[in-house]
Amino acid sequence: MDKTNAVRLVESAGLTFVIKEYEYDENDLSGVTAAAKIGMPAEQVFKTLVTRGDKNGINVFCIPVEDELDLKKAARVSGNKSLEMVHVKELLALTGYIRGGCSPVGMKKKYPTFFDETAELFDEIAVSAGVRGMQIVTEPMGLVTYLGAQLAEVTKG
């Protein structure tokens, strides 16, 4: 396993973690598929979504892979009136990551980051390790604290 920048940062922060690698299919980068391949429930595997707010620019949201971001709730907690998803073509330039391998850890800049409040319900969650086919499994509150993130209700339903 090659260590990604995200893995190095989590390691240097002293977080306890495990790396789970899996074969990915270019035609199916869904988080639900990733969760199944690493043997974790979908509600414990968090995808990283990048948005642009009308007031404060780029915001990052980490939500369970089976859920959908509620843009109204997300705008409210991030101090915006409205949010839109960043176009996939902009992802690499903004974050340093590509679709299917976007990690909340080690982005090019420190953006306001929010985890869905369900993260604190679990002993461990998985987030992308910064490349397709690799997840970091760690204790959620340690990760939230390390990232300076906030917990908030940001999913639909």
pTM of this structure: 0.96
**Using CA atoms, how far apart are residues 153 and 63, in angstroms rounded to an integer?**
10
State in Å, rounded, how far the first CA of the chain is from the last one.
38
% pLDDT > 90, the chain: 94
Instruction: State the pairing for strand pair 46-53/113-116.
Output: unpaired
DSSP letter assigned to residue 27: T
Structure token digits, residue 120 = 């604190």
The residue-averaged pLDDT of 115-122 equals 98
User: Is the pLDDT reported for residue 1 higher than 70?
Assistant: no
32 to 11, 15, 57, 135: CA distances (angstroms) = 26, 25, 28, 13
At residue 42, the 3 state secondary structure works out as: helix
Cβ-Cβ contacts under 8 Å for 122 (sequence gap 6 or more): 43, 44, 140
Radius of gyration of the chain (CA): 14
Greater model confidence, 139 or 157: 139
**Using CA atoms, how far apart are residues 127 and 46, in angstroms rounded to an integer?**
5
User: Is the pLDDT reported for residue 55 higher than 70?
Assistant: yes
DSSP letter assigned to residue 83: E
Q: How many CB atoms lie within 10 A of CB 13?
A: 15
% pLDDT > 70, the chain: 99
